[in-house]
Structure 1
Amino acid sequence: MASVAGASASTQARPCQMAMAMKQVTGFTQGRSNLSFMLRPLPARLRFSCPAKPETVEKVCEIVKKQLSLDGSKTVTATTMFTELGADSLDTVEIVMGLEEEFGITMAEEKAQAIATIGQAADAIEELVKEKGN
């Protein structure tokens, strides 16, 4: 474990990262040490970025909303997971089929099963459209 004097440990809790700093307080009573702990936020180290074009992401969002019969009150972004929208595995298959039809592509089953977010779907679509164009 970390040494007591001036040690710090970090946790990578989601969605907020925190660091715990321990410092030794002088003066011991009955063989116990008095430690104080302070939590401070850490800057985010990982950022999610979707390399797909914004137009592709918007089109995927529209198709997902249509497939899941979502009203306008639900916010759908590149980071939105299908499960957050209430989609089960059958819904995900239907979403992929709708995307294939809309973009004129065919997605391998393994690739389709790995898609969990709108951004991942948009990235996969752009990759397949690019391959199709070559």
Structure 2
Amino acid sequence: MASLSATAISSVSARPGASSRSLGASGTSSLKLVSFSSQRKSFRSLRLQVSCAAKQETVDKVCEIVKKQLAVPEGTAVTAETKFSALGADSLDTVEIVMGLEEAFDISVEEESAQNIATVQDAAELIDKLVEAK
């Protein structure tokens, strides 16, 4: 039988002696310690670094557009981690969301990139990348 446990810590350095980087106002970072154990082998820890590249203002605007496009009921929480499918969106709804985002941010999203958008965070990161490249 295997078990899994995780603990969040406040360090941004993945390795002892690794230099920390400045995150600035547009990004966040967290580090998780995850321990795995089983009857045969035990792993001390696995460190995962998770970072959010999109600006918070972009995430907020994408949330509002998604709520509007999908007619999400008032009071329903939509966050960066929210999957469009969890809100009842099908592939046509996702295309309409992308079109709304293109109009709102004055960008053009390639079809291949649009197919990789599943969450608000995915959309916000792509938008920030496209706006910056403009």
TM-score when normalising by structure 1 = 0.67
Q: What are the Cα deviations for residues 54-111 of structure 1, in whole angstroms up to 9, with x where unaligned?
A: 0000000000000000122211111111111110000000000000000000000000
Partner of 1:76: 78
**Percent identity between the two aligned chains:** 56
Structure 1 stretches of 4+ with a deviation exceeding 4 A read 8-12, 42-45
TM-score if structure 2 supplies the norm length? 0.67
How far apart are the structure 1 equivalents of 2:118 and 2:92? 13
Q: Point out the structure with max Rg over C-alpha.
A: 1
Determine helix, strand or coil for the equivalent of 1:110: helix
Separation in 2, partners of 1:76, 1:47 = 24
Q: 2:130 aligns with which of 97, 110, 128?
A: 128
Structure 1: which 5+ residue stretches go unaligned? 1-7, 24-41
What aligned pairs does 1:45-84 form with structure 2 within 5 A after superposition? 45-46=47-48, 48-84=50-86
Residues 10-68 of structure 1, C-alpha deviations (whole Å, 9 max, x = no match): 669xxxx7744438xxxxxxxxxxxxxxxxxx978445432111000000000000000
Do 1:50 and 1:78's aligned partners in 2 also have CA atoms closer than 8 Å? no
Structure-2 residue corresponding to 1:114: 116
> What secondary structure, in the 3-state scheme, does the structure 1 residue paired with 2:39 have?
strand
Distance in 2, matches of 1:89 and 1:77, equals 20
Secondary structure class of the residue paired with 1:79: coil
Which SS does the other structure have where 2:51 is aligned?
Answer: coil
Query: Does the 8 Å contact 2:83/2:119 carry over to 1?
Result: yes
Aligned CA-pair RMSD: 2.8
Contact kept, 8 Å, 2:117 with 2:123, in 1: the verdict is yes
